Amino acid sequence: MMMEGEHAERERERLPPIYSSTAPAGLGGGAKQPLPSLSSFISTLSQRRDVGGRGFDGSGVMGTSLGLRHGRELPPICSGVRQKQRLCIQTLPPEAKAPFPCEPVVPLRTKTTKDFQEDMDRAVQSGDWREVRDFYLTTFNSFIELNAAFKREANGLFNTIEDSGINVKFVNTVYDTLINTPQDIQKSVLKGIINSLLREWKGPRTKDDLRAYFILVQNPQYSSSSTFVIYAHLLRQIAALSEADHHFLVHWLKK
């Protein structure tokens, strides 16, 4: 009998602890209680904080009046757990990860200064301005298209103050010609600039954005008082750029 009693005592030490109430989920005993909703969980935490007098301390760890006094409270999240969480997120398959916006690729445009001048000559002779109109409408409708039309290499970096990467001769030719185009083309350019400024107002600036500002600020249409509002919005955006961006623009304009 003594041998059997000692054996039973050792077996009891190996068994899981006996719970006074419903057994936790996963042990298989007792009735399973439904999980509390998020709102009831938050309400419970608020009540405990009011009763105990303390909630989370400044370090983000539960104070003694809440979790550390009761063995059934969850332990605080430590740095090792956070690291595991990051590793799990990084090992997700590509289709499960949230897409991050990337810098847009500048489309390839092949029209040269000579091509544009030939289009202009044909328009003056024939009275058909469709080719010239389409060029102005497309070019001034966005910052990306400004870079596509006037950047020497569509996706070149040109991240130095010595070289803006812009075909300045082509820009001058397009602006000199604009003054002599029909009024509807000139108005379409102004509308395109407004759309560009509204679209590009938010978000971090790139060097291609600086190139677009560099091009737009040279537009001779701003000499007319009817365009002062558009010019003011352009200058406002340029003024809001960082000091480093101003440094680039000043050197490009200086050249």
Per-residue pLDDT tens for 166-221?
999 999 999 999 999 999 999 999 999 999 998 866 667 889 999 999 999 999 99
pLDDT higher at 223 or 199? 223
Q: What is the pTM of this model?
A: 0.58
Q: How far apart are CA 202 and CA 107, in angstroms?
A: 22
21 close to 33: Cβ distance less than 8 angstroms:
no
- How does pLDDT run across 153-171, given as a tens digit for each residue? 877 778 888 889 999 999 9
pLDDT digit string (tens) for 61-105? 444 444 444 444 445 545 554 444 444 444 445 444 444 445 556
In this predicted structure, what is the pLDDT of residue 85? 45
33 pLDDT band, cuts 50/70/90, is low
pLDDT (0 to 100) of residue 70: 46
CA separation for the pair 171, 187 (Å, rounded): 18
- What is the rounded distance in angstroms from the CA atom of residue 186 to the CA atom of residue 170? 18
Average pLDDT, the chain: 74
Token output for 140: 């001034």
Q: What is the pLDDT of residue 109?
A: 81
When pLDDT is averaged across residues 142-148 and rounded to a whole number, the result is 93
For the cut 60, the answer to whether the pLDDT of residue 50 exceeds it is no
pLDDT of residue 7: 56
**pLDDT for 34 beyond 60:** no
Percent of the chain with pLDDT over 90: 47
Alpha helix (H) ranges present in the chain?
Answer: 2-14, 38-52, 79-90, 113-126, 130-139, 143-150, 168-178, 183-199, 207-216, 228-239, 243-254
